[in-house]
Each structure stands twice: as C-alpha cells, then as structure tokens.
Amino acid sequence: MTTPILAGFQHRFEPGTDAAAPPLLLLHGTGGDENDLIGLGRALSPGSALLSPRGPVLENGMPRFFRRLSEGVFHEADVVRRAGELAAFVAEAREAYGIGAPVAVGFSNGANIAAATLFLHPETLAGAVLLRAMVPLKVMPAADLAGRPVLLLSGALDPIVPADNAARLAAGLEAARAAVTHTVQPAGHNLSQADLAAAGAWLARLTQSRAA
C-alpha cells in the first residue's frame, strides 16, 4: 500500500463515522510512525476521522517530529520550524480530506510538537490530548487559546518529564486562556489504562458537547 504524502509528511488517513466526533491528529513518540497510534485513536474516539503523520526527523533511524540536543533538551529553532511544517500539513490535509480542525492526540515527542503548535499556530488545532508532554520552548510565545480544550496527562513517576516542567506547561496553557485539565497519573512515562480511560472519557465529553 502506497503511503500518501502531503506537505512532505507521509501519513495515514481514516474517515470518520460520527460527524460530532472531532477529527484526531495522531502524533507518535520517538521511534513511532504513521501506524503507531491508529489503534489508540480508534479506541479513544471510535467515530473520529484519524489523521496520522510520520515525524520527518530521524534520530538514530527513529522518526521524531523535531530535533533534540539531548534527552529533555530541545533544538528550539527546529521546534519552531517543525511546528510550522506540521501546521501547513494540517491545513493541506483539511482541504484534501474535507475535515475540520483536529484535536491533537500526542504522546511524548508527539505531545511536545502538539504543545508547540498550540502556542505558535493556535488556529491549527481545535484542542489537544497531551500525553507525557513537557514545555516545548523555554519562553512560551504569547497565544490566544481562549476556551480551547486541552487535556494534559502526566506521570507522577515519569523519569523524563519533571513534575515542575509539566506544571509549567499547564500554567502556560492556562495563561493563554486554554481550558486545561491537568491530571497526574500514578505512572511513569509509558501510558497506563488510567490514561486511556481518562483520555477516552474526555474525548467523549467533547463529542457530546459538539453534538448538543
């Protein structure tokens, strides 16, 4: 099967079956690809259209969405560049597939590029589920995310994302007027069943509000 390419991104797209369910932009972690989160997207929001790009950066052969200097230390100029490229991809995909602004569902590196895109290109996303995200830029840009729903799920035992970093991201999103729900799960960097249940319930409520 040939993988389609839009704006330089190899990706998968699956049409939705519920008009009220938001399209999901699935953003994998380091070493994943466009297939990695399809099953998760289906489980979290069964009626949603799914748009899943492959990160365009390689680190030791593993796809990522932006470069880093070391674990937890990001190449900030590349973060800015790649967030712009992702925003352009979403714009082309919306036109190509006839979907509305998606809700990002990102894990780890994918969550970090989603957070950067919220701040740098706030028109791109209708909201976000940020799984194990951290602050993408040392100085978070001014953005108006008025009422934009964001679920941030952190791990109390996460060895990669310090608790104060996740809290600072939540505070930055709140300062941009996003409607933030920040939950700290009793887990590490990997996802738990509690994460999946929380994200699924949050997306179900979002679907219900859109249908009302």
Residue-wise pLDDT for 127-160, tens only, equals: 999 999 999 999 989 999 999 999 999 999 999 9
Q: Tell me, which fold does domain 5-211 have in CATH?
A: Rossmann fold (3.40.50)
Distance CA(154)–CA(157), nearest Å, equals 9
Q: Which two tokens stand for residue 79?
A: 């973060």
**Half-sphere exposure of residue 178: CA atoms within 13 angstroms, side-chain side:** 28
Q: Residue ranges per domain, the chain?
A: 5-211
- 189 in active site: yes
- Per-residue confidence at 206, pLDDT binned at 50, 70, 90? very high
Q: How many residues does the chain have?
A: 212
Q: Which of 18, 75, 182, 189 does the annotation list as catalytic? A: 189
Backbone torsions φ then ψ of 112, nearest 5 degrees: -70, -40
Q: Dihedral through CA 38, CA 41, CA 43, CA 47, nearest 10?
A: -110
- Predicted confidence at residue 72, as pLDDT, reads 81
Which are the contacts of 77, defined by CB distance < 8 A and separation ≥ 6? none
Letter string b/e over residues 6-18, b meaning 16 or more CB atoms within 10 A of that residue's CB: bbebbbbbbebee
pLDDT band at 212 (very low <50, low <70, confident <90, very high): confident
Residue among 108, 121, 154, 195 flagged as catalytic: 108
**Which residues make Cβ contacts (< 8 Å) with residue 185, sequence separation at least 6?**
153, 154, 155, 156, 192, 194, 195, 198
Which one from 36, 45, 158, 195 is the annotated catalytic residue? 158
- Does 164 participate in catalysis according to the annotation? no
pLDDT at 145: 97
Dig out the tokens for 94 from the structure.
């919306």
